[in-house]
Amino acid sequence: KSKIKQNLTAEPTRIASQTGFFCSFFRKILTNDYQLLKMSSRKGLEMKYTHEIIDKTTCYQGFFRLERYRLRHNLFAGGQSAILTRECLERGHAAAVLLFDPALDSLVMIEQFRVGAMEAPDGPWLLEFVAGIMEEGESPEAVVRREAVEEAGCEIQELVPALRFLLSPGGCSEEIYLFCARVDARSAGGIHGLVHEGEDIHVRVVAVSEALRLLEKGKITNATAIIALQWFALHRDFLLARWGNGGD
């Protein structure tokens, strides 16, 4: 067990090469450690995890919405906080999908301009995975199937749910539903996206080894792409066992 724990800091390519048993045991270690941490952090505390929204004001309404909340919440040491003012960007929830071709051992990635990265050291063209905002009443699965065609020209053959996560909960309510999908990437490539939405998307087929190298070198800076690649590295053996050589 101690040897396995020492391996948790291994590079992504090394993690990806571990056995399915290791991946299963890895998850157990994380779960057990988290439970111990949660128990120790709450020992002697009897806080009720509740909060109260006193009022909410819409500060801005455009493509996104900015809300200002006045609220209070219970404290770990007991009692309630003072009334706090917090602003939160409400942009809806989104779904993302890592497109994997097991026969080619490659991922279908996309590159596009991102306004929020204009001041980033590496510039605003980011290497990412297919993603889209969920419309009202639309399931996450439907979103990624639609976006895979629109953004990458790929039909999803099989879909595996990965995880859900909050992107930046300190000031944004957006939740991401992440999936992994089996695709045929032999004809993937070119320029895609919806012109009327101003999309200009370059599709790239990237070898798994190269994608993990870029991740390790810090060349992939989109948070969803980083999380997706780390999840893939941990579950690669499971996916290959499930899909084999192209799913045969």
Residue 139 makes CB contacts below 8 A (sequence gap 6+) with: none
Pairing of the two strands 175-182 and 94-101: parallel
Rounded to whole angstroms, the Cα distance separating 220 from 210 reads 11
Catalytic annotation present for 11: no
**Which residues share a beta bridge with 73?**
51
Rounded to whole angstroms, the Cα distance separating 235 from 17 reads 10
Residue 17: how many CB atoms within 10 A of its CB?
A: 12
Residue 199 is assigned to a ligand binding site: yes
Cα 246 → chain centroid: 24
Residue 185 makes CB contacts below 8 A (sequence gap 6+) with: 99, 101, 104, 106, 108, 154, 205
Residue 131 is assigned to a ligand binding site: yes
Token pair recorded at residue 7: 């391996």
Rounded to whole angstroms, the Cα distance separating 189 from 202 reads 7
Helix, strand, coil shares, percent, the chain, to 5? 35, 35, 35
Residue 155 is assigned to a ligand binding site: no
Which position among 87, 155, 197, 210 bears the catalytic label?
Answer: 197
Q: Kindly give the residue spans of alpha helices, DSSP state H, lying in the chain.
A: 2-6, 12-16, 20-42, 140-152, 208-216, 223-243
CA atoms within 13 A on the CB side of 186: 3
* Binding-site residue set for Mg(2+): 131, 147, 151, 199
Q: What residues act catalytically? A: 197
* Binding-site residue set: 131, 147, 151, 199
